[in-house]
Amino acid sequence: MITVETGGIKETIHAYGNPNLTFTHKTDMVIRKSNYTCNRTLAVKADKAAKNLSRKLIQKLQQPNQKVLITLTVEYGGPGGS
């Protein structure tokens, strides 16, 4: 689960990890609806694309000095996991 908060607006995205994720890009992080991975990919199989996010959130994120809090919650639900 990925939570994005800024300016009093909060949005949650459900997505998955992948063993191929390296997350080594210095400035970019991408949450994808597909299974595609590259060094910018933070998560895959997301339940939302950018177009599905609140317009108010997008407007806040477009402000150059706007601070944002991104929280990653990891839940293991694989074989043998709970």
DSSP string, 20-58: T-----SS--EE-SSS---TTEEEBS-S--GGGS-HHHH
Q: What is the pLDDT of residues 43-57, one digit of tens each?
A: 999 999 989 999 999
Q: pTM to 2 decimals?
A: 0.81
Which residues have C-beta within 8 Å of that of residue 27, sequence separation ≥ 6?
none
Q: What is the pLDDT of residue 80?
A: 52
Taking residues 27-33, report their average pLDDT: 94
Query: Interior CA angle at 48 toward 81 and 37, to 5°?
Result: 65
The domains found in the chain, sorted by start residue, are 2-72 (2.60.120.630)
Mean pLDDT for the chain overall: 91
Residue 2 has pLDDT above 90, yes or no: yes
